[in-house]
């Protein structure tokens, strides 16, 4: 009986707190395989828009195996994140970066150096999933948006984490726990009155 009462007491304490449920969703937007070498285009890449508050967790940099610097910039041209690639692979996965992207903000992801990138003809912009939308390609700091080619990057993995949701304790469980404790108190009182 004592074990049952202790268990009920612990259950009641747990039920008086609110549990927090956090849901995370990870998605990958693949993009096409890049087959052609760029020649003479510095600061080239893609423009994207976040459709939710997400983190950019990884992406693939497809270039010609040369050293380069990758920039994530906002719409004002400010550099938000930098990744220095030392070279060696034509298709390099950049991972574990957790770069924050804010809902409805426009970003550019570009490679700094000219003649390092790769591209393919592509006319299906915008390309999107539930987290991000790829709007088109960027060439040069003032080159503007183009929608005929896909440059340098693909396989964008992003994670959306929903705001915490407070889950109220079900009333039936609350009543059960308090009922058992009340019963325990009543039995204890009766035992004391018998002994006196």
Strand, helix or coil for residue 181 = helix
Position 179 scores a pLDDT of 57
Report all structural domains of the chain as residue ranges with CATH numbers, in order of start. Answer: 24-163 (2.60.120.820)
- What are the tens digits of pLDDT across the range 118-128? 999 999 999 99
Q: Is the pLDDT of residue 152 over 50?
A: yes
Strand, helix or coil for residue 186 = helix
Position 186 scores a pLDDT of 47
Cα of first residue to Cα of last residue in the chain, in angstroms, is: 23
Q: Is the pLDDT of residue 177 over 70?
A: no
- What are the tens digits of pLDDT across the range 18-32? 445 569 999 999 999
- What are the tens digits of pLDDT across the range 52-82? 999 999 999 999 999 999 999 999 999 999 9
Q: Is the pLDDT of residue 92 over 60?
A: yes
For 6, the enclosing helix (H) or strand (E) is helix 2-16
- What are the tens digits of pLDDT across the range 134-146? 999 999 867 789 9
Q: What pTM value is reported for the model? A: 0.75
Report the alpha-carbon distance of residue 47 to residue 145 in Å, rounded.
Answer: 7
Strand, helix or coil for residue 155 = strand
């Amino acid at each position: 009986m004592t074990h049952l009462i202790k268990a009920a007491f612990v259950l009641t304490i747990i039920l008086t707190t609110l549990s927090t449920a956090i849901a995370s969703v990870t998605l990958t937007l693949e993009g096409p395989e890049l087959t052609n070498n760029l020649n003479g285009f510095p600061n080239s890449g893609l423009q994207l828009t976040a459709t939710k508050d997400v983190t950019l967790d990884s992406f693939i940099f497809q270039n010609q195996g040369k050293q380069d610097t990758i920039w994530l910039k906002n719409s004002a041209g400010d550099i938000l994140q930098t990744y220095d690639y030392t070279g060696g692979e034509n298709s390099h996965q950049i991972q574990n970066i957790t770069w924050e992207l804010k809902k409805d903000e426009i970003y550019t992801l570009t490679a700094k150096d000219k003649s390092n990138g790769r591209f393919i003809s592509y006319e299906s912009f915008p390309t999107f999933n539930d987290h991000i939308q790829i709007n088109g390609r960027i060439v040069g700091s003032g080159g503007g948006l183009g929608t005929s080619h896909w440059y340098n990057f693909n396989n964008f993995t992003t994670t959306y984490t929903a705001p915490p949701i407070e889950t109220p304790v079900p009333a039936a469980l609350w009543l059960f726990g308090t009922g058992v404790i009340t019963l325990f108190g009543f039995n204890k009182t009766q035992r004391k009155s018998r002994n006196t």
